[in-house]
């Protein structure tokens, strides 16, 4: 049964929820049914997450409150599956054996490797075809056109930032096993081709954590980090020199600040129950470009608090596992992969893209699971 679920999860990053809503609905329904059957049939023990019982119950309560008091109940019900699927995947991952954990990580890395090849292909061959298609059909999308003209890889996601955030997680998963590090020669170049400052900065910070928790901040690894920092600097300089005003790094930062101010205004109007799942909408954006602000807007204070409570307990358990585990490298990689997602969502919105966020829920559960 687990192999069937892993096969379905393997497909998740290839199905963009925004681009293919009907396919995403069919996929999501299939995954939910499989997860329900798995949890009922396997009856996994959840003694490992006793500390999470109260925050999980509170999070489910926040979801219910958000739907009940939603400004648009249909929108909220349409988004509810994402949270239920994520929590079910988390519960499944926590209960896995060490052998199954390794198989799950390998599944994610294989999907990430294929997506890396697709991104590299897009960079060298795909942009011209897509530009021709947009031109032939008289389609105008300024941001997309600029991604293409400036050659920022994003396939199969909606933005280069989303691809960068995803590949940052895959990069850290690859580090869980020293025998797979050679795969970075394909994954890391694809990551660089996104030219995403937010993803680069998040990966840089997560790598510091990865090496620090293993007491491996030594000369060779510091050189690694210095190289990544240099890459960040080069990306900022190149984008500053070549890109149009609305995608200039400074303008991008100002744009985010404006989104955050607008989001805060909504929070002040609806601080406790929010506006409901799926009802976030600004004048110029569907996303706040800060997932924590958007969660507060949609789910209210109870939703944000309960999610932070879940994350804090999960990460504390991960740190505890590091001191007790025989597989410290694996736990450190899973911990760092969880953290890079959380950091990236201070500047982006991948929490609201199920093709990425559902993978994070699994990784968080794997990091908590003990052998």
231-278 pLDDT, tens digit each: 777 766 665 655 555 455 556 778 889 999 999 999 999 999 999 999
Beta carbons of 298 and 279 less than 8 angstroms apart: yes
Beta carbons of 179 and 159 less than 8 angstroms apart: no
pLDDT, position 147: 65
Mean pLDDT, the chain, as a whole number?
Answer: 87
Region of 310 on the Ramachandran plot (φ > 0 left; ψ -120 to 50 alpha; else beta): alpha
pLDDT value at 139 more than 60: no
pLDDT, position 231: 74
Average confidence (pLDDT) over 348-370: 93
Tokens of 296: 């507060």
**Residue 156: is the preceding peptide bond cis (ω within 30°)?**
yes
pLDDT, position 28: 93
The label of the residue with tokens 């909220």 reads 76
pLDDT, position 148: 64
CA 97 to centroid of chain Cα atoms: 24
Cβ neighbors of 27 (< 8 A, separation 6 or more) are 8, 11, 12, 15
Q: What is the DSSP string of 195-230?
A: --HHHHHHHHHHHHHHHHHTT---HHHHHHHHHHHH
CA 22 to centroid of chain Cα atoms: 21
pLDDT value at 44 more than 90: no
Helix segments in the chain, DSSP class H = 2-11, 21-42, 53-68, 73-94, 98-121, 127-136, 142-149, 160-174, 184-193, 197-213, 219-242, 249-269, 291-324, 328-344, 354-368
**Nearest to 342, CA basis, from 368, 297, 310, 300:** 310
CA 294 to centroid of chain Cα atoms: 15
pLDDT, position 83: 93
């Amino acid at each position: 049964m687990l192999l069937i679920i892993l096969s379905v999860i393997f497909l998740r990053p290839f199905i963009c929820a925004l681009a293919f809503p009907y396919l995403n609905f069919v996929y999501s329904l299939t995954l939910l049914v499989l997860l329900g059957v798995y949890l009922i049939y396997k009856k996994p023990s959840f003694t490992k997450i006793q500390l999470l019982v109260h925050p999980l119950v509170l999070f489910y309560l926040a979801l219910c409150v958000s739907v009940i008091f939603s400004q648009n109940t249909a929108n909220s019900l349409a988004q509810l599956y994402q949270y239920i699927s994520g929590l079910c995947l988390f519960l499944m991952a926590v209960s896995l054996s060490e052998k199954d954990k390794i198989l799950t990580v390998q599944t994610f890395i294989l999907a990430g490797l294929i997506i890396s090849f697709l991104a590299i292909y897009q960079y060298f061959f795909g942009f011209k075809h897509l530009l021709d298609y947009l031109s032939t059909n008289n389609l105008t999308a300024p941001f997309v056109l600029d991604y293409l003209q400036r050659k920022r890889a994003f396939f199969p996601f909606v933005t280069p930032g989303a691809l960068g955030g995803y590949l940052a997680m895959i990069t850290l998963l690859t580090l869980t096993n020293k025998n797979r590090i050679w795969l970075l020669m394909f994954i890391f170049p694809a990551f660089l081709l996104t030219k995403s400052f937010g993803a680069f900065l998040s990966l840089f910070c997560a790598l510091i954590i990865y090496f620090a928790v293993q007491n491996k901040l030594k000369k060779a690894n510091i050189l690694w980090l210095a190289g990544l920092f240099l890459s960040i600097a080069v990306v900022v300089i190149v984008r500053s020199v070549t890109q149009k005003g609305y995608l200039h790094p400074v303008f991008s930062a100002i744009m985010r600040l404006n989104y955050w101010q607008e989001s805060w205004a909504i929070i002040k109007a609806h601080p406790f129950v929010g506006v409901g799942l799926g009802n976030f909408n600004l004048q110029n954006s569907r996303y706040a470009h800060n997932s924590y602000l958007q969660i507060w807007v949609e789910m209210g204070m109870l939703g944000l608090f309960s999610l932070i409570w879940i994350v804090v307990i999960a990460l504390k358990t991960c740190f505890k596992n590091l001191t007790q585990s025989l597989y410290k490298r694996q736990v450190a990689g899973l911990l760092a992969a969880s953290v890079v997602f959380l950091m990236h969502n201070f500047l982006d919105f991948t929490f609201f893209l199920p093709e990425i966020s559902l993978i994070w829920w699994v990784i968080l559960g794997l990091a908590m699971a003990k052998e």
